Amino acid sequence: MTTIITNDATTLHTALTAPLSYAIVADAEGKKDKDVSATFTIENPAKGTHITFKIDRPAGFKTMLVSMMTGSDNETSYEYVGSMNRGLFIKKTDKDISANASTKLNAVRWYMIELGKAIKGENSRIGAVNLHHSGACACCGRKLTNPESLSTGIGPICGARL
Ligand SMILES: [Zn+2]
């Protein structure tokens, strides 16, 4: 199941950086950190295209690892492209990546830049695309079922902590 996250820039930023926020919350609460993973799809309705990418933050990591879906299996067909910080800046890996992943990385970077503009109240083209998520909490990976959680991408327990 996937669902559209609201186009509110602050909510989008919170959802996209939730795996990193989880580490900060766990640290503050003296809890053991854990691996966190979230999957998102950017849809361009005008072009009828979409790009799926995954954000992984292994326990103890202070950045998020970004992978692009480049094959047909939405569980396993991902290629690592670089790391992302809370400022939504994606630093490309020094390793070679496929042309397919490179094209998708450019599109996701564009999205993050446009989202950054929207957060600052600048003119942004973010409204041209929709962001869907996998129906799992971006913090802890639990399945989301209530409408409010489905619109934010974050479950009620994690949402209360962020
Ligand atoms: Zn959660």
Residue 123 burial by CB count (10 A; 0-12/13-18/19+): exposed, middle or buried?
Answer: exposed
pTM of the prediction? 0.91
Expressed in angstroms and rounded, the spacing between residue 18 Cα and the centre of ligand 1 is 9
Indicate the average pLDDT of the chain: 91
In the chain, the DSSP E strands lie at 3-4, 36-44, 49-57, 64-69, 78-84, 90-92, 130-133
User: Is residue 111 in a domain?
Assistant: yes
Distance CA 143, CA 80 (A): 24
User: Is residue 161 in a domain?
Assistant: no
User: Is residue 160 in a domain?
Assistant: no
| Number of independent structural domains in the chain | 1
Output the CA torsion sign for 81, 82, 85, 88. Answer: negative
Q: What is the mean pLDDT of residues 121-135?
A: 93
User: Is residue 15 in a domain?
Assistant: yes
Expressed in angstroms and rounded, the spacing between residue 107 Cα and the centre of ligand 1 is 27
User: Is residue 16 in a domain?
Assistant: yes
User: Is residue 69 in a domain?
Assistant: yes
Q: What is the mean pLDDT of residues 127-137?
A: 90
Expressed in angstroms and rounded, the spacing between residue 80 Cα and the centre of ligand 1 is 24
User: Is residue 162 in a domain?
Assistant: no
Give the tens place of pLDDT for each residue, 78-107: 999 999 999 999 999 999 999 999 999 999
Give percent above pLDDT 90 in the chain.
63
Expressed in angstroms and rounded, the spacing between residue 123 Cα and the centre of ligand 1 is 32
What is the residue range of 47's domain? Answer: 3-155
Give residue 1's pLDDT.
57
